[in-house]
């Protein structure tokens, strides 16, 4: 099977390296289309696979094409490759907001999968939600799930609208975590810890808390109750969080991200 990734950015390269590392494809079967000749040359010197800047040299050769450009660049990409696609090719899009029907009409194809990975895919710890058009067969879905699983966990969703929701939760979610971590690091530094000490305290707290959560059947509310003894320090912090409506603010932020994902697809 020959795979073409259209877009030589971070996510596109993450997939290429993950597929090669998992031995799903060989170097000859892994192709990447870059925006410029210079970028293709640069990447070919440092990465496995075949790198191109001219879509005429690679699009029709692929069995599976992964659309990995920014959603704002989708229309330009569609114009460049529309006349090069072949019947039977399977397309996976990781472009936020760009709908299945848009891709099918723009390229004149039937087999399209829409997926939303997230940044931890770079270390094999990501999560990807995906859905598909009706013409994608069960065998092809299994093949795609195996590919996506090389970067972490996968979740198949029936409704395409859930991809926009996944964009807001897991796609953008790492930034929310880093936002909270950064605030805690700044708090630690204000209390006299060095930058390295603050980062260690916070990063290990997040790692340990998530591991503990994953290894138990307890809910977040259960764990909060275990940590927050009545009249204690944790309760004092939670009282401030609640007064600032932090819980509602996080929910509204995620809803704003979902709305923006829908807008990007229009």
Residue 166, in any domain of the structure? no
Residue 47 CA to residue 45 CA, distance in Å, equals 6
123 with 207, same domain: the answer is: no
pTM metric for this prediction: 0.87
Q: What is residue 78's three-state secondary structure?
A: helix
Domain count, the chain: 2
Please report, in angstroms and rounded to a whole number, the separation of the first and last CA atoms in the chain: 33
Q: Which residues contact 128 (CB under 8 A, 6 or more apart)?
A: 115, 116, 117, 118, 121, 148, 151, 152, 153, 154, 155
- One domain, residues 218 and 148: no
Q: Residue 265: what pLDDT? A: 72
149 and 178 both lie in a single domain: no
Q: Do 28 and 151 reside in the same domain of the chain? A: yes
Q: What is the pLDDT of residue 97?
A: 86
- Could you tell me the CATH number of the domain that includes residue 228? 1.10.3730.10
* CATH code of 90's domain: 3.40.50.720
* Residues of the chain under the 70 pLDDT cut: none
Specify whether the CB–CB gap between 255 and 88 falls below 8 A.
no
Confirm whether 168 is domain-assigned. Answer: no
Residues 8 and 89 in one domain: yes
Same-domain pairing of 65 and 121: yes
* CA angle in degrees (0–180, nearest 5) for 243-245-248: 155
Contacts for 181 with CB less than 8 Å, ≥ 6 apart: 202, 203, 206
């Amino acid at each position: 099977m020959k795979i073409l990734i259209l877009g030589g950015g971070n996510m596109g390269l993450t997939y290429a390296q993950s597929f090669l590392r998992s031995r799903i494809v060989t170097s000859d079967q892994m192709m990447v289309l870059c925006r410029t000749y210079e970028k293709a040359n640069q990447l070919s010197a440092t990465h496995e696979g075949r790198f191109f800047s001219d879509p005429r040299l690679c699009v029709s050769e692929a069995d599976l094409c992964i659309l990995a450009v920014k959603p704002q660049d989708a229309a330009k990409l569609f114009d460049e490759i529309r006349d090069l696609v072949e019947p039977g090719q399977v397309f996976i899009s990781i472009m936020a907001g760009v709908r299945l029907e848009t891709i099918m009409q723009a390229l004149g194809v039937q087999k399209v999968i829409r997926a939303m990975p997230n940044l931890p895919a770079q270390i094999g710890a990501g999560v990807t939600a995906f859905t598909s058009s009706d013409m994608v067969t069960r065998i092809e879905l299994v093949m795609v799930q195996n590919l996506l699983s090389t970067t972490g966990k996968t979740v198949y969703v029936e409704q395409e609208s859930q991809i926009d929701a996944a964009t807001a939760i897991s796609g953008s979610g790492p930034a929310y975590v880093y936002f909270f971590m950064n605030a805690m690091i700044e708090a630690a530094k204000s209390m006299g810890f060095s930058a390295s000490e603050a980062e260690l305290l916070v990063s290990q707290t997040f790692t340990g808390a998530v591991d503990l959560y994953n290894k138990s059947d307890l809910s977040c509310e259960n764990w909060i109750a275990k940590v927050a003894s009545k009249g204690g320090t944790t309760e004092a912090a939670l009282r401030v969080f609640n007064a600032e409506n932090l819980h509602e603010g996080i929910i509204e932020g995620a809803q704003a991200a979902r709305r923006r994902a829908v807008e990007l697809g229009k």
